[in-house]
Chains A and B, each alone.
Chain A
Amino acid sequence: MNTSPNPAGSTNPELIRNFCVIAHIDHGKSTLADRMLQLTGVVDARSMRAQYLDRMDIERERGITIKSQAVRLPWRGIDERDYVLNLIDTPGHVDFTYEVSRSLEACEGAVLLVDAAQGIEAQTLANLYLAMEKNLVIIPVLNKIDLPAAQPEKYAQELAKLVGCDPNDVLRVSAKTGEGVKELIDLIVVEVPPPTGDANAPARALIFDSVYDSYRGVVTYVRVFDGKLSSRQKIKMMSSGASHELLEIGVISPEPKVTKGLGVGEVGYLITGVKDVRQSRVGDTVTDYLKPASGALTRFRDPRPMVFAGLYPIDGSEYPLLRDALDKLQLNDAALIYEPETSAALGFGFRCGFLGLLHLEIVRERLEREFNLTLISTAPNVEYRLIMEDGSEREVTNPSEFPAGKVGEIFEPIVKATIITPSEYIGSVMELAQERRGQMLNMDYLSEERVEIRYTIPLAEIVFDFFDQLKSRSRGYASLDYEPAGEQSADLVKVDILLQAEAVDAFSAIVHKDKAYPYGVEMTKRLKDLIPRQQFEVPIQAAIGSRIIARESIRAMRKDVLAKCYGGDISRKRKLLEKQKEGKKRMKMVGRVEVPQEAFVAALKTNNDTSSK
């Protein structure tokens, strides 16, 4: 590939095709990308590894893409001309809608990739609508046709109906075996329009991803719309006005390759030496410092955290380590916010804001895995806006800070949720949505067997294990997507949990008034099962203000001695005691009570199995 017919930096836009792949987790996007890397010859079979483009361990393990990436692929079209394809990888999860939307804006076309054994999922549908809004050319493709359970006929109908094409035009491929992938690439060249832009206008490039690299600093991925970006050029970020010098510019193919510049329609990376992704944010427009463009490409907004949770080290002395770890993570995660907070029960920690539950989980997992911390996460909650009786306004992201009285009105965030379910589960899905204060907007049959239902629903209800419930009530078939839809006034109360008559701030929750009582009963019961017996009795109570609404009691432990010393096997007995000591390290002392980590997220699950205790 040394003598590329289309050197980066001066590629004729006519020959460029920018596209992305919209797919649900597990529907084979990474495998398709792998196959394209091979077929276009940029990766040979020897250096091929599965999910080549996924960089983080967590991405590979969970099979999800957290951050997007772009790869430049050479391709000789059926017209014998040499094209340049830019595959822009999009994150596939509901938490990252904003990033998906920016990735889509960098493309002219999208491959809609759907598992031929499963059909389209809610998140894919949401992203498809997003792509259609942005007028992208959609190429519907059914993947995994090699699976015995594949039903290409059935799902081709579904896709055709969504995209508005003939079922026969739905391409059928197997990314695993490679069947149909060449035809797909040829089709992309034919169907996806080339980028258009003014090569002589002031430079304008859209940032669709920004990644921190410990050696290089921040690597920014851009798509050039107008003009040209060149090495050593002084550039300006249009949202902040900050200027940087381009230390390096290049393309990914699929390893970074330095170029002299990037021209109209081209996709590549920039390095300016900044150390923090917040200085180079997704959605921002890059322009020339001396000859700036008059307007940005798209309206930039900061990703807004939707879900909040407290993160605390079990061992209080690890607090500085946690701070350092969060600082480091934030270099690569512009959406992560945090501020120090103190909990009477948990000590020093941070209240963190996340895009959603998956984002929370990923951050927590990375903190534990990459920084070797042992953390307690409080149950996640949303942000409330309170109008006080004196007319003042405040925002609450931590339930324990929810004021006891003098609140006039409370607003909670709501989302527009899309649920796709096989029609046989409509009843249970509707029941669940209703229990969770959902308001149905409309319902569409995607096919005879599959229905799309739309709701507005309080985000707090989604955060409270909605997804698990949806899965369990539809035997795993229903899927969910949601996007912020403003806020609504609601009748909410704070429920406190008391251990030995002392409120434990980390257990406080904001609950709808009608649900406060069952919530209190459920929580006290669950904590009774989760907290081991102590040497003394531990009363557990749920309270609204000073009113006790539920109570349970953990009876005092009376016997813990393991009597037998098997014929002088002292070691065994000692090891048991050592193990007990290890177990205690995973416990947090709340007053005199030893509380296991799991208890703090107990509120996350509605019907967890506690019979094993």
Chain B
Amino acid sequence: MQTFGWPEAYFILRAASWTLALTAIAFFIGSIIGGIFAIMRLSRVKALRRFAAGYILVIQSIPVLMVLFMSYYGLSAIGIELPPFFAASASLSIYVSAYLAEIWRGSIESVPRQQWEASASLALTTTQQYRYIILPQAIRISLPPTVGFLVQLVKNTSIVQVVGFVDLMRAGMLVNNATYQAFQIFTLVGAIYFAICFPLSRLSRHLEKVMNASRSH
């Protein structure tokens, strides 16, 4: 029987880069879709508002695992066989989009109403209001919760191994199947996740403190 040694540890560590890649892709695509949904959620058109609200509610009310299975098996049911990495990216992007849409809607809404009034009174169009006045402020407000959500995303990438994609989690499971030294293996896997997530958590908290300080003076 194989034992858990340096080569196995190295294998796991290398797989962590796939976890990071998956996180980056899901965050990138998810934030584009999420941004669109956030604006739709605040649109003056009722149908758009309703649609965005429904999308956000549904995605936030089902397990990420189901989003994954739905996009994996759903697409193969209509004849599209996605490679695991694409299925994983697609489903995580959907998951990300719903949560970011909600975070960003909240951020946009927490820009004081008077900023809309003042900019409208200066004859700005709605697009100009968003671009020059509202979004620059909303983005600042959204930074701490967005970074905080990034931590959730990194952790949730761990479930995509179920479609066969070899990320940090899957690598740990493979090594475990060969060595049965689960305690050491999952300590290492956990430590790597922690090493990615903990700095992000601290950053989120730090940003929040900075923001609170600048708001109170």
- A and B: real partners? no
